[in-house]
Amino acid sequence: MSTLGFERHNHARCIRSAVDAADALCATRGLRFTPLRRRVLELIWQCHRPVGAYDLLDQLKSERDGAAPPTAYRALDFLMENGLIHRIESLNAFVGCTHPDAPHQSQFLICTSCHRVAELSDPAIERQIDTKASGAGFQPERQTLEVTGTCDACAVTR
């Protein structure tokens, strides 16, 4: 079995289901899932690697006139605020959320060899961190957990 589980998967379906889920979610919440926001989400889902804002912007520039940094960042802000993507802090890059329906903290395994990223979402870890913080008199709001290392596919190849 593979960590990140990217071998042999139908990635076109991957993208489509992410966008469909976003569509449904925005409809439910009364959010405007505009063509730009939809397109940015699609671009982020092109692969399971984090995408930099300026990589994204290069794509956008080739598709629409006058795309500039705010074009990308505003869409990214919208997608993040609504839990459709996550920001990988240690990489200054963005990745699609695999389960935007349920609220959860940011937990990632990041392979330093192939640069692919897997989202964890382990509620037990989330709770333990929360408990620890509260026990220290701190009111936790947001958790960011990023683990770098080697995914099993890359470990085998070595």
Partner DNA sequence: TTGACATAGGTTATACTATAACACTATATA
Partner DNA sequence: TATATAGTGTTATAGTATAACCTATGTCAA
Binding site for its own copies (CB under 8 A): 1-4, 89-90, 109, 111-112, 118, 120, 122, 124-125, 128-129, 132-133, 136-152, 155
Name, in order, each residue with C-beta under 8 angstroms of 137's C-beta and a sequence gap of 6 or more.
none
Of 89 and 101, the one with the shorter C-beta distance to DNA is 89
Q: Which of 31-39, 66-74, 130-138, 147-155 is the region at the interface with Zn ion (rule: CB under 5 A)?
A: 147-155
Query: What does the DSSP 8-state code read for residue 51?
Result: B
Beta bridge partners of 87: 94
**151 near Zn ion, rule: CB under 5 A:** yes
Of 24 and 68, the one with the shorter C-beta distance to DNA is 68
Among 65, 103, 139, 158, binds DNA (CB under 7 A): 65
Residue 12 to residue 108: CA distance in whole angstroms: 22
**92 near DNA, rule: CB under 7 A:** yes
Residue 12 to residue 32: CA distance in whole angstroms: 24
**98 near DNA, rule: CB under 7 A:** no
**62 near DNA, rule: CB under 7 A:** no
Instruction: Write down the H helix ranges in 30-122.
Output: 35-44, 53-63, 69-81
**22 near Zn ion, rule: CB under 5 A:** no
| H/E stretch holding 156 | helix 152-157
Among 9, 23, 27, 54, binds DNA (CB under 7 A): 54
Residue 151 to residue 99: CA distance in whole angstroms: 21
Of 75 and 97, the one with the shorter C-beta distance to DNA is 75
